[in-house]
A and B are shown apart, each in its own frame.
Chain A
Amino acid sequence: MSRIDVRKTYKLYINGAFPRSESGRSYEVLDAGGRFAANAALASRKDARDAVVAARSAFKGWSHANAYLRGQIVYRIAEVMESRRAQLVADVMACEGLTEARAKRVLDAAIDRVVWYAGWADKLPAVLGNANAVSGPFFNFSVPEPSGVIAIVAPEASSLLALVSVTIPVVVAGNTCVVVTSRTRPLPAITWAECLATSDLPNGVVNLLTGDHAEIAPWLASHKDVDGIDLSGVEDAALARSLEAAAAVNLKRFARHDAEEDWAVRPNLRRLSRFLETKTILQPIGV
């Protein structure tokens, strides 16, 4: 007797849970060869709204957790990814049409990227902050602080490495985020969400929405409880411009799509420092 298939339902990742879209919609995901791969949830604006609420409520705990602990938790994400190599490689192969050897190299790069950023967690204040010289009996410190809730539109083509590269630096800096994943290649993102869910990362710090960013991103851009928006995955210049204009409603920090960006190259501090504010404080000496 043949066994019944146990197929996986790909869902969203919001507040540490895996809900279906509030709208009940889903869409067909094709593999690189154009064959049916799976059905993924098609997120709606209400899912985005729920994700922002989750990210906002997670922000206080995550941004106040000490930097060393944040680094440890992000390193654990790399550990869990390592233990799920087989599935991540299979997802990347299916979605991006890579050979097994190349998909493995992509995964290696993604895991190394997480480790690299994890190491920065407790070094940021030392590198980006300063004890300023002032003429007077004061200490004067500048310290970096996370901006808050960041919306991220992940790049379309690189389904895992780019996703990791845009999400992890934002989180390491102490922000929480809502990420709209690649629409055509969402499966590695959901597998990655399962890694996040099992790696001590508090609920709501990362929320992943699969779906059409042209539908969801405008709602995130105009959302007054979102403090920054990374448009790395928005290639359509007209859409990007309208999103930037909408983001001005509460002076969000934003980042543009960069067609030249090579995800394989080891990054610098640009993405880590983009969604940080600098707080400068005076303190009297000898009190």
Chain B
Amino acid sequence: MTLVLGISDSDLAAATGSDAALRRFLFGLPGVDQVGAEARAAALGTRSIKAQTKRDMIDLAISMIDLTTLEGADTPGKVNALCVKAQHPDPTDQSAPHTAAVCVYGDMVPYALQALGPDSPIRIAAVATAFPSGRASLDVKILDVRDAVANGAHEIDMVIDRGAFLSGRYMQVFEEIQAVKQACEHAHLKVILETGELQTYDNVRRASWLAMLAGADFIKTSTGKVQPAATAPVVLVMLEAVRDWHAITGKHIGMKPAGGIRTTKDALKMLVLVNEIPGEDWLSPDLFRIGASTLLNDLLLQRQRLRDGGYSGPNYVTVD
């Protein structure tokens, strides 16, 4: 029996038996040392990274991106352009890796599927469950998910009901995630915690464990519609949850920071956190994703700079 944080495998099974047990489990998790978490995240952000490592990390970061467009003004044409960019991020350099996935609204999935083709290694992620607010009845959310899956989405990004979470109705959140997981069938489920609305790191830790207990394949920081989003300390706390879950159950849960990661420097800091906390296993698109739209262009500019020796400019990457 593996014991991490004083939790055993059987504790996890017992935690979801009743509302009271779930609450007891979540409040039994150790509190996050806020100052310590922020200091550790900041310290890991100052690591010096040498040129060759930087090259490798930039390519790795590109291959982990969920290239995202989640605007009310999205059109099939824009989704098509996004898919082309996901396949060939740098039109001037075929050696640039493709992104891990494209992330779109559910109704745009058929267009993404058409653009990428059936055998593409690039996954299609769809946001569902009344994204980004999550304010709809469970039936509507389930329909939203089924619709996206029927359209051909490989991955579903759901939002949790933050209102229920913050008012302490944990069982409701738990059951909702379970129901959505069931509706996903073969599709991977990413659970968005929307950490910008959770107020404290303790809540982030509890929400992470709650999502993993309910069957999430990935836990994801934010919708990208609320600031602050994927700050380094929040990512650190979530990565610790993923690490501890693995230590107890042996299962790998993925992690996806999204929102507010705009520069190469930010992305490399995230990779350092991944390497230091859950470890090398997670340095793969299967277990770590970065949700972003503008980040890709900055990664490409840095990639061109390392390739050509001189600084590149925004005229040399595609306009989103």
Give the interface of A toward B (CB within 8 A). 49, 52, 56, 219, 222-226, 246, 249
Give chain A's interface secondary structure class.
helix
22 residue pairs of the A-B complex, CB under 8 angstroms, read: A49-B311, A52-B311, A56-B314, A219-B311, A222-B309, A222-B310, A222-B311, A223-B310, A223-B311, A223-B313, A224-B310, A224-B311, A224-B313, A224-B315, A224-B316, A225-B311, A225-B312, A225-B313, A225-B314, A225-B315, A226-B313, A246-B310
Residues of A within 8 A of B316 (CB): 224
What residue in chain B is nearest A57 (Cβ atoms)?
Answer: B314
Report the 4 A-B pairs with minimum CB-CB distance, sorted nearest first. Answer: A225-B313, A222-B310, A223-B311, A224-B313
- Interface size of B by CB at 8 A reads 8
Question: B39 to nearest A CB, angstroms?
Answer: 21
Residues of A within 8 A of B310 (CB): 219, 222-224, 246, 249
- Since A56-B313, A56-B314, A224-B313 are in contact, a sample of 11 more A-B pairs with Cβ atoms closer than 8 Å, ordered by chain A residue number, is A52-B311, A222-B309, A222-B311, A223-B310, A223-B311, A224-B311, A225-B311, A225-B312, A225-B314, A225-B315, A249-B310
Question: B75 to nearest A CB, angstroms?
Answer: 25
Residues of B within 8 A of A52 (CB): 311, 313
Cα(A224)–Cα(B310), bound, Å: 8
Give the interface of B toward A (CB within 8 A). 309-316
Residues of A within 8 A of B314 (CB): 56, 225
What residue in chain A is nearest B309 (Cβ atoms)?
Answer: A222
Cα(A70)–Cα(B199), bound, Å: 46
Residues of A within 8 A of B312 (CB): 224-225
Cα(A270)–Cα(B313), bound, Å: 28
Cα(A90)–Cα(B314), bound, Å: 42
Question: A56 to nearest B CB, angstroms?
Answer: 7
Residue from the set B309, B311, B315 with the largest chain A CB neighbour count within 10 Å: B311
Question: B263 to nearest A CB, angstroms?
Answer: 11
Cα(A246)–Cα(B311), bound, Å: 12
Question: B294 to nearest A CB, angstroms?
Answer: 14
Cα(A224)–Cα(B313), bound, Å: 5
Cα(A142)–Cα(B310), bound, Å: 34
What residue in chain A is nearest B313 (Cβ atoms)?
Answer: A225
Cα(A225)–Cα(B310), bound, Å: 10
Question: A178 to nearest B CB, angstroms?
Answer: 12
Cα(A52)–Cα(B305), bound, Å: 14
Question: A201 to nearest B CB, angstroms?
Answer: 23
Cα(A56)–Cα(B310), bound, Å: 17
Question: B45 to nearest A CB, angstroms?
Answer: 15
Residues of A within 8 A of B311 (CB): 49, 52, 219, 222-225
